[in-house]
Structure 1
């Protein structure tokens, strides 16, 4: 697998509106939940979700803050691994509030149970078979089928990317 560019990963991430947030429950089992992306921070790829403090994922994140966020639309896929924190800042909630959130929080942005989940990804991996990359993959897939091999991909289609504090290509951990 090739190492891709941070810019490519962030470009793909910006296209998503929904994700699956994977947390670890108390007995070690993994739980995935659909979540609406509230915001993706420019440049860092940090992700924000709204949640209720009564939700089981809040306790799971407090006990096991390492999470995975997976995203898929059509021919694009993204997986982010990182650390989640629960943010109760009323100022940040005010900043990120949108009227669409009223569907889940009918009491509005002042709901005392409303909180944010902030995910700071350390590493990401993407698969992008849209447009020209998809055509290249189709050609490679046909070649692989005919020859009995595996299709070749390049960093425009599939790559791993170190992010905030994740491992760098030389084995060191990058600073945030």
Structure 2
């Protein structure tokens, strides 16, 4: 099962919420290029010290100055169960035209690529 990792602060309530219910959705949007990703999965707070050290980098140090062993750092592990990706390559005027045509015809518009993955 594919996994995403995130570093978060223990000072936030995120770790506590994940311990109560780890069902999450992670999304990414690049509206300028009309690309969107939505990922669902089960998240847990990981105690894997080796993974913390492997993933820790100079950019992360800006948030966690104590390094990979900073007491404020928590490693969140998201096991992906479902993912969707949209890549819309038509121009904005073409998108609007297709949406208007669909509204008139009552049929769903076909705009760009859409892929769905169940893990």
Q: For 1:68 and 1:158, how far apart are their aligned partners in 2?
A: 18
Shift of 1:54: 3.0
The 10-residue stretch of structure 1 (45-54 or 116-125) with the greater mean CA deviation from structure 2: 45-54
Partner of 2:23: 66
Question: Structure 2 residue aligned with 1:114, among 66, 73, 77?
Answer: 73
Say which SS state the counterpart of residue 90 (structure 2) adopts. Answer: helix
Using a 3 Å threshold, how does the CA distance of structure 1 residues 45 and 136 change in structure 2: closer, same or farther?
farther
Is the Cα contact below 8 Å between 1:140 and 1:152 reproduced in 2?
no
What are the ranges of 5 or more consecutive residues in structure 1 without an aligned counterpart? 1-43, 164-176
Q: Which of the pair has more CA radius of gyration?
A: 2
Kindly tell me the number of residue pairs found equivalent between the two proteins. 114
Q: For 1:118 and 1:100, how far apart are their aligned partners in 2?
A: 19
Partner of 2:117: 161
Is the Cα contact below 8 Å between 1:137 and 1:152 reproduced in 2?
no
Q: For 1:144 and 1:94, how far apart are their aligned partners in 2?
A: 48
Residues 56-92 of structure 1: per-residue CA shift (max 9 Å, x gap): 0000000001111111113111111110010122211
1:83 correspondence with 2:42? yes
The 10-residue stretch of structure 1 (99-108 or 57-66) with the greater mean CA deviation from structure 2: 99-108
* Residues 36-51 of structure 1 aligned to structure 2 (within 5 Å): 45-51=2-8
What are the ranges of 5 or more consecutive residues in structure 2 without an aligned counterpart? none
Shift of 1:100: 0.2
Q: For 1:61 and 1:78, how far apart are their aligned partners in 2?
A: 21
Higher RCO, 1 or 2 (CA under 8 Å, sep at least 6)?
2
Provide TM-score, normalisation by structure 2: 0.81
Partner of 1:152: 110
Partner of 1:105: 64
